[in-house]
């Protein structure tokens, strides 16, 4: 057996330690979460991951060697992810999950930080707040879909995570200066 277990091969005792934030296991193992790319101590107060996404390691060195980054909240192994890497990691998460409901609180919980620190750090490094970045990604995807598909405006709004049609149209116009219908018409050379 290798020095760490494979995804999904977590023991019941390890899973219980993680879900109960049991500090007694902090010096025994650390766990990484495949979907976030972050590793934590069992005592970390972050939201419980999906069990099938958990990867167990003996120490921080093993997790780093496998491509995982340390949690900002619990600082496993005394390590801390640099702010720049943290902000880019959050940006990548938004890029991949923009269709899902995303709030500052959800992102802060997912990336193991406080909403206040996330807001401040992300804005300083990326130049936009997390919410502004989410909106930018969603509107950019909507612009693309309006240009290359025949989907209705409502279907496009839903496909980019903005299921409230009037909010989608208002946000689109605020960001582009046109309604989705106007944008589709001008981007398709006047065709409707």
Overall size of the chain counted in residues: 192
**In what side-by-side order are the strands of the sheet with 30-33?**
54-57, 30-33, 38-40, 69-70
Rounded CA gap, 147 and 19, in Å?
A: 46
Active site residue 40: yes
What letters, b where the CB count within 10 A reaches 16 and e where it falls short, cover 21-32?
bbeebbeebbbb
Catalytic-role residue among 40, 44, 71, 111: 40
Burial of 34: CB neighbours in 10 Å, binned 0-12, 13-18, 19+:
middle
- Residues with active-site annotation: 40
């Amino acid at each position: 057996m290798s020095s760490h277990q494979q995804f999904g091969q977590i023991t019941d005792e390890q899973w219980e330690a993680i879900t109960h934030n049991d500090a007694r296991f902090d010096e025994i193992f650390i766990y990484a979460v495949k979907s976030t790319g972050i590793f934590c101590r069992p005592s970390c107060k972050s939201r419980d991951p999906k069990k099938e996404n958990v990867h167990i390691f003996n120490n921080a060195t093993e997790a780093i060697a496998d491509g995982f980054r340390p949690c900002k909240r619990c600082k496993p192994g005394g390590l801390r992810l640099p702010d720049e890497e943290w902000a880019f990691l959050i940006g990548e998460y938004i890029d991949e999950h923009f269709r899902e409901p995303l709030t500052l609180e959800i992102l802060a919980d997912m990336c193991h930080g406080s909403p206040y620190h996330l807001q401040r750090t992300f804005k300083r490094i990326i130049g936009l707040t997390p919410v502004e970045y989410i909106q930018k990604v969603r509107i950019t995807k909507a612009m693309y879909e309006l240009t290359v598909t025949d989907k209705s405006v409502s279907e496009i709004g839903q496909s980019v995570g903005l299921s409230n049609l009037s909010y989608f149209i208002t946000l689109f116009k605020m960001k582009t200066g046109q309604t989705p219908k106007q944008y589709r018409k001008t981007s398709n050379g006047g065709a409707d």
